Every structure is written in structure tokens, then in C-alpha cells.
A and B are shown apart, each in its own frame.
Chain A
Amino acid sequence: KAGVTQTPRYLIKTRGQQVTLSCSPISGHRSVSWYQQTPGQGLQFLFEYFSETQRNKGNFPGRFSGRQFSNSRSEMNVSTLELGDSALYLCASTKGSSGGRETQYFGPGTRLLVL
């Protein structure tokens, strides 16, 4: 079974721009969670989508948004980029039916650099 895939793997943007990252979950998984990893703050939960609906949300400003499509692929968007948005963005997938009982499987991440 193919694992979680994320595109692009690397991205360079300038302040004020917006960016869209994509995540395709493991086949059969319907839940996608997004995390931001920075050296200062570590790994922080952004949000989780299931069946095209956001079910859980972390403590991030409204510039961070996401969506999920009917095939379970998910995108996250960051508008009006700031230098502090430079990070590794990881997504993880699960079947989505048993909450914390399910193990989350991660993709390779998208490294975003904001100049």
C-alpha cells in the first residue's frame, strides 16, 4: 500500500504571498491531520479533516486554512505569509473512525521557506 504523499516537497515564497500544500492519504484512510514543525515551537497540530469536514482545529490564526476533497486528498493554505511561517508541514492520515485509538501515519512533509 502506498504511504502518505505530500507535494511539493520544498517551497520558497516571499512575505505576503500565499501558498497551498497538498496531502494524499493512504488508500482507504479518510482522515487527514496537519502539523507544523518549527525549531522553536516543535510540532503543533493545525487541523484535522474527515469526509470533507473540519472536525478538529488547533490554535493557529485564520490565515491557516484547509479543505478536503471527496477522494480524501487534503490541501492546506496559508495566506499573507510571514517569516515565522517557515516550517516543515507534515500531514498524517488514519481511517478516521476511532479517534485517538488509531495510529497516525505521516507523510514526508513539505518544507516551506518564507523570505
Chain B
Amino acid sequence: AQTVTQSQPEMSVQEAETVTLSCTYDTSESDYYLFWYKQPPSRQMILVIRQEAYKQQNATENRFSVNFQKAAKSFSLKISDSQLGDAAMYFCAFIDGGSNYKLTFGKGTLLTVNP
């Protein structure tokens, strides 16, 4: 069974600074996908970024980028130039590349952005 671990229950960052959220996972699969989702107080789960395991290049989406270390099974999220609107719960998630539609989530990291 796959597991996803987020070791930082809470993080804080100053506006305009950079913050990195950590995530590790455990799987025996070779074909899988990793995601970071953001859940603001409105509770809507919003996709931040996605990484395919077969791609060596780290995914980036504007101010968001990941550091994907496949051998170490590590998938961290870097948020640059943090904005007040980035404050939210961030979830790391895993899914294998088969016909299973089950996302496995970490417990989440609550990010606070200080003005």
C-alpha cells in the first residue's frame, strides 16, 4: 500500500519570501503521479502542480515548483514570492498510473503567510 507523509503540520512565511513544504512517499510502483493540492478556508481543493514519475524534469507552475527526488521518494513544493492568497492547507497526493482512481493524501501542511 502506498503512503504519503508530510512531516510539517504547520509552516509560516513572510510575504514575498520563499517557503518549501516537504513530502515523502512510499510505493513499489514504477508508474505513478504526484500532486500538490491547496485547500483554502473555502475548503475547495485546488490543484497546484503535478509531476509524472517518469519525467526527470521538475514541474513548475509560475511561482510554484517541485523538487522531485525519485530515488529518495521525496516530493517537496517550493513557493516563491509568497502572497497572502497562498495561505491555505497544502496536501501532497499520490496515485499509481494504473486504472485505480484512488488518490492517497498526506495529512497536510497549514501554511500561514505573514504580511
Is B11 interfacial (CB-CB < 8 Å)? Answer: no
In angstroms, how far is the closest chain A Cβ from the Cβ of B64?
Answer: 15
Query: Interface residues of A: mostly helix, strand, loop or mixed?
Result: strand
Chain A contacts for B105, CB-based, 8 A: 42-43
Cβ–Cβ contact B97 & A109, under 8 A: no
**Of the candidates A45, A88, A103, which one forms a contact with B47 in the assembled complex, judged by CB atoms under 8 Å apart?**
A103
**Interface pick from B14-22, B37-45, B65-73:** B37-45
Q: How many residue pairs at the A-B interface have CB separations less than 8 Å?
A: 64
Asked if A33 contacts B101 (CB within 8 A), the reply is: yes
The answer to whether A101 and B101 touch across the interface, beta carbons within 8 angstroms, is no
User: When the two chains form the complex, which single residue of B32, B45, B95, B106 contacts A106, counting CB atoms closer than 8 Å?
Assistant: B45
Contacts of B108 in A (CB 8 A): 42
Contact with A along B3-35 (1 / 0, CB 8 A): 000000000000000000000000000011101
Report the interface size class on chain A. Answer: 20 to 34
Known: A42-B108, A99-B97, A100-B33. A88 touches B102 (CB 8 A): no
Q: Which of B41-96 contact A (CB under 8 A)?
A: 42-47, 50, 91, 95-96
Given contacts A43-B103, A92-B103, 6 further A-B contacts (CB under 8 A): A42-B105, A45-B104, A58-B102, A99-B97, A103-B47, A106-B44
B positions within 8 Å CB-CB of A: 31-33, 35, 37, 42-47, 50, 91, 95-108
